[in-house]
Amino acid sequence: MQISIMGVDIGKNSFSVVGVDGQGAVILRRTMRRQILIDFVEKLPRCVIAMEACCGAHYLGRLFAAGGHEVRLMSPEYVRPYV
């Protein structure tokens, strides 16, 4: 059970996280606060992290990319179908 793609929905105080394995099955679904999310991602093996592009996402994206993850930021107009 290894997360290959992780989607992060950024909110003001909490972040909704979904983790998908290589076959597309959801293996993780949690809500976390900012520092808990950062600590959680640091412990993960390398994976793709997808987020909506906003000012907070750019900061987190730089942190996650420094840890070896591949960060993909999506324009808000393309995020709506995933909600």
Q: What is the DSSP letter of 68?
A: T
Distance CA(19)–CA(7), nearest Å, equals 6
Amino acid 50: pLDDT: 93
Distance CA(75)–CA(39), nearest Å, equals 26
For the chain, list the domains and their CATH numbers. 5-82 (3.30.420.40)
The half-sphere exposure of 3 on its side-chain side, counting CA atoms within 13 A, is: 23
| Segment-wise mean pLDDT, segments of 10 residues, the chain, 83 residues | 89 91 93 95 94 88 95 83 59
* 70 beta partners: 48
For the record, the structure tokens of 15 come out as 């972040």
